[in-house]
Amino acid sequence: MPTPPTYADVQAAAERIRGQAHRTPVLTSRRVDGEVGASVFFKCENFQRMGAFKFRGAFNALSRFDEAQRRAGVITYSSGNHAQAVALSARILGMPATIVMPHDAPASKVAATRGYGASIVVYDRYTEDREELGRALAAEHGMTLVPPYDHPDVIAGQGTATKELIEEVGELDALFVCLGGGGLLSGAALATRALSPSCRIYGVEPEAGDDGLQSLRTGSLVHIATPDTIADGAQTQHLGELPFAIIRRDVDDIFTASDDELVAAMRVFAATLKIVVEPTGCLAFAAVRRLAGELSGQRVGVIVSGGNIDLPRYASLLA
């Protein structure tokens, strides 16, 4: 395992993505504050370029490639947002990108990835191993593999969202972060421990796939079957090794949210904050809503991780 990144790497990433990534807005709502009984600060990465925080990590990683790596290009595997993030970053930096995507990836994510000019290789989520396929193609064509979360530059890039949040609103009592493979949560933990040391840090994963919680409890990486949940960005089978090393050290606890709770949170985002948030992006806020009574009077950060969802699907979830 490579050395886990530190807050200095998050700071370096912030310099690299400056002028390329958006500094996304922090939204607040008196109505939500009233319902939760706390001051809630939403860091809205649904407004990030390509619609999710993943642009931060991908651009940071790709901007560190040397000349030879740029010429041969980047390859990755992803069910969606990391694919778009790598494809867009590669286009900006002028290098070829190959994306290994599941056959059942959301149509909007496949179309967007293709739209950024990437080549797509399709695999079967339930029978093929995407990591093996990615590694084999990388070796065959000399491409550099940038995985979605288990990579120091990806983690450092994701940490810049929380760095911006705390720099803008000041120290927090608690921070809630959506959790899949752990790139976002581990990056958030690095920034939080540096900028708001006493803040409690929580990951939130789908109830159908609580491998992160099991891993934190047992102290070793738990693998599960692909969880059945509407949170398609968090259908991971295990945390990354690097994220887990940071999560074990810095994260206070992990909560879960059911699909029904995600839809309820999505409804509040639409009706009250007037923003479109994809199911995975609702994880953190869903946990805050469930814990409302225990957060009273506190300053609470919520990372809204992304907003990419097919509109017909969005409409049917809200209907």
Ligand X SMILES: *Cc1c(COP(=O)(O)O)cnc(C)c1O
Binding of ligand X by 213 (CB under 6 A): no
- The one catalytic residue among 39, 78, 79, 108: 79
89 catalytic per annotation? no
Binding of ligand X by 13 (CB under 6 A): no
Single residue of 183, 206, 209, 301 touching ligand X by CB under 6 A: 183
Binding mask 112-131 for ligand X (x = CB under 6 A): --------------------
Cα distance between residue 3 and residue 123, in whole Å: 31
Cα atoms in the Cβ-side hemisphere of radius 13 Å centred on 148: 29
Single residue of 106, 152, 159, 181 touching ligand X by CB under 6 A: 181
Instruction: Report the DSSP beta bridge partners of residue 97.
Output: 74
Query: Given the rule CB under 6 A, which of 2-10, 92-100, 162-170, 175-183 is the region that contacts ligand X?
Result: 175-183
C-beta nearest to ligand X: residue: 306
Q: Coil, helix or strand for 97?
A: strand
Least distance from ligand X to the Cβ atom of residue 182, Å: 5
For the four alpha carbons of 124, 139, 237 and 290, in that order, the dihedral sign comes to negative
Cα distance between residue 112 and residue 109, in whole Å: 5
For the four alpha carbons of 55, 235, 112 and 140, in that order, the dihedral sign comes to positive
Binding mask 41-70 for ligand X (x = CB under 6 A): -----------x-x----------------
54 catalytic per annotation? yes
Cα distance between residue 153 and residue 2, in whole Å: 11
Structure tokens at 263: 């839809």
Cα distance between residue 51 and residue 109, in whole Å: 10
Residues 2-25: b if buried by 16+ CB within 10 A, e if exposed: eebbbbebbbbbbebbeebbeebe
Binding of ligand X by 182 (CB under 6 A): yes
Binding of ligand X by 281 (CB under 6 A): yes
209 catalytic per annotation? yes
Least distance from ligand X to the Cβ atom of residue 43, Å: 12
Q: Coil, helix or strand for 141?
A: helix
Single residue of 180, 206, 209, 301 touching ligand X by CB under 6 A: 180
153 catalytic per annotation? no
Q: How far is CA 246 from the centre of its chain?
A: 15
Binding of ligand X by 179 (CB under 6 A): yes
207 catalytic per annotation? no
167 catalytic per annotation? no
Q: Which 297-316 residues touch ligand X, going by CB under 6 A?
A: 305-306
- The one catalytic residue among 43, 54, 109, 163: 54
Q: Which 133-172 residues touch ligand X, going by CB under 6 A?
A: 148-149
Binding of ligand X by 233 (CB under 6 A): yes
Q: Which of 139, 152, 172 is nearest to 246 (CA)?
A: 152
CB 88 within 8 A of CB 146: no
Q: Which residues bind ligand X (CB under 6 A)?
A: 52, 54, 81, 148-149, 178-185, 233-234, 278, 280-281, 305-306
Q: Which residues are catalytic?
A: 54, 79, 205, 209, 211, 305
